[in-house]
Structures are given as structure tokens and as C-alpha cells.
Structure 1
């Protein structure tokens, strides 16, 4: 699901609601960060540490409203998920609350394609900790080194790599050492070579 646009809008709206200005480069630092940690980051970087809990709560409420109004899948994602789900167990490993993940997938017609949904909370630490990906691989019955993560944030890529998974990075490949966070970078999940590879591996 392409939720980053909604997180970005939710962060901007939350900053405005509290009369705060987003610090330069904040969007890059916040991408993929769990909403409670993002609220703390917003509070810290604007010099308002006492607002951390309120910012996090408002951020989540705003995001949930935005994504419920307009859940969006990444280009190529639905076709790739449906192809893979016919042959392999799939899991979601997310920093979003479970109800948000399941609602988005359900509205996109993809919830039934996933055998498991793993989210942070109840002893499962959020990304960039490896917990969600370790749990997802285990539930799918796959050793981590035989599982593949698909990620669009460096935070998520770090989580997957720390869990021992290989990683496909979606989006522009960053310069410098951050490019090593993914084993392969593709511009989108509709990438011709990626689709060909998936079909050949899955046997479709």
C-alpha cells in the first residue's frame, strides 16, 4: 500500500494544528518511522517535548482518516501480490496499526492474499528493529534467508536486513552507503524485469 503520501500529509496537518513548522528535511527522517516515535521526533525537533504524546495521537488519527478516505496501492503491487499468493505464503510486516493495515488491504481487495499480518506492539518492536520481519518469516514457515521483503523506506529495509531477509527496494536508489540497504532497487513494482523474474520463479 502506498501510505507514505498519507503519512506525509498527516504530519503536515498535525504540525499546522499545533502551530508548529516542520524542520527542514523532516519528511526524510520520518519516513517509515512508527507513529509514536514520529510524534516524539516531531516534538523534539520543534522544541516541544511535552507535546510528544499529543502529537503522536493526532498524527495517527489524522493518518487513519486520510487513508480510510483514499487507500492507494503502488503501481504493479496488486498484480504482483495476487500472482505470488497463488503459490507462496505472504505476510505483511508493518509499523501501522493492525486495523489500518487490514482496512486498507480489504478496501484494495488484497486482504485475502495475505496469510498473516504482523504489526508492532505487544512485545513486537517497530521497525527498524527486526521483530516484525522475523515474525512474518516464521509465520510463513520460511527461514529468514529464504524470505524476501519488499520495502519503500530505509527504516523498513534496515528492519528486514537485520532480520536476515533479502530486500527489494522500491523507488529511486539513494546515493552512498544507503543504496546497500536493498539487494535490488526497482522504480516500481510494475518493473518489467521484476514481473518477469517473479513469473519465472513462481512458475506462473
Structure 2
């Protein structure tokens, strides 16, 4: 059982940061004249920041700041919000600690840049919890491409078929499944009825559902 690795996504899985990302994006894009509303943020969920900026530029091109500068503004604002307001998702810290106690290879695979990963882990008190930290920002392609998960498995020294990913978004789930991994999905309440989540191996309302017995059963399925 010990060769089964658990790989956590970060935003929306470990930390309740999706509302923070949404606030930051609305603030920054509105200042550029882009009519972004909170209800529209789900369209780019799971994308890298540069891809979010490109997506909205294609819909509402602006003048002035270039796309790289806009991405940096968003990241800076998200970092501020994470450091001051970031809260763990229910059961997230406990699930990570459980994997540590079970001596499972443990990694994080996220679309966020690595400097934001460090901020989040510090906020959650999980600085030393993971064996591997991977960011799709360093990959040629972001989620739903499997690159970040394949890189993570390689760095862990575990075959993708022996990895379990924990995700919250359609793009993240597709990334993990395309990499050949099993996937536990914990979607936001408003997304739970999305039929695309039928591709998940397990759909949970919260990571609070995971205890040692549950995880052992799932790993040994």
C-alpha cells in the first residue's frame, strides 16, 4: 500500500481560495474596463493565471497594461488575500496529515505559481507536509493537459497508475485522469451536479469524509 501516492490540488482543495481568486480577478479586470462579474469566474476555473488573462483578453481586449503585467497584478492581489484571509477547506489539513501518518508518498500539483504555493502552505501550517511540490506554471501546457500530474508522479518515483489525485474542478479532474490516475473530486456545491464529474472515481461533498478506514478501502479498490 505504501507505493500508492496521494497528490493534492491546491486551490479549492486545500485552501478556500477560489473566492479570493475571483475577488482579485474582478478587481483587476474591472480596473481595465473588463466587465467581469463573480458569476463569470467559473469559466476559467483550473486555468493558469496567464491563461485566465488570455481568455478574458480574447473576449474583452483592453489597451494599456500588457497581459504579463495583468497576470502579476492578479497574483499579487491573491497573495495578499491568502496571507490575510486564507482558510483551509473543511477536512483538508486533516486529510494531508492522515496521508503523512500512513507514510504515503505525498505531493501537491497546482496551476498556481510556486511562490503562491509557499504562501498557502505557510498559511495552513503545511510547509513540511509534501514530498514534492509541482506547479503547472513550469509546464508547456496547463490543466486539463496531464503534464503537471505526469511530472509530479515522475518526481515522486511512482507510476501514475499508483497515484490518487484529489481535485475540485473539471479541468483538474481531466488532467489527472488523462495522466492515468484515479481521482477523488470534491467540487464546489454549485458544481456538484455537473455531469462531467461522472468521470471521477469518487465524488465527495467534503474531505471531512476521509478517514483512515475510508482511505484504505479506496486505495485497495
Q: Determine if the TM-score, normalized by the shorter chain, exceeds 0.5.
A: yes
Partners of 2:207 and 2:38 lie apart in 1 by: 30
In the superposition, the TM-score normalised over structure 1's length comes to: 0.88
Give the 3-state SS of the residue equivalent to 1:8 in structure 2. helix
Match of 2:183 in 1: 167
* Structure 2 counterpart of 1:27, from 37, 41, 44: 41
Aligned length: 200
Write the deviation string for residues 121-143 of structure 1: whole angstroms up to 9, x where unpaired. Answer: 44453212111111111222221
* Structure 1 counterpart of 2:215, from 175, 184, 198: 198
Are the aligned partners of 1:36 and 1:53 in contact in 2 as well (CA < 8 Å)? yes
Partners of 1:52 and 1:44 lie apart in 2 by: 11
Matches within 5 A, 1:59-74: 59-74=74-89
Partners of 1:28 and 1:75 lie apart in 2 by: 20
Are the aligned partners of 2:20 and 2:78 in contact in 1 as well (CA < 8 Å)? yes
Match of 2:62 in 1: 48
CA positional deviation for 1:199? 5.5
> Over aligned residue pairs, what C-alpha RMSD do you find?
2.3
Structure 2: state its 5+ residue gaps. Answer: 1-14
Q: Greater CA deviation, 35-44 or 68-77? A: 68-77
Give the 3-state SS of the residue equivalent to 1:180 in structure 2. helix
For the pair 1:189 / 2:207, whether they are aligned, the reply is yes
CA positional deviation for 1:102? 1.6
In the superposition, the TM-score normalised over structure 2's length comes to: 0.81
Q: 1:49 to 1:32 in 2, by over 3 A?
A: farther
Give the 3-state SS of the residue equivalent to 2:43 in structure 1. helix
More contact order relative to length (CA 8 Å, sep ≥ 6): 2
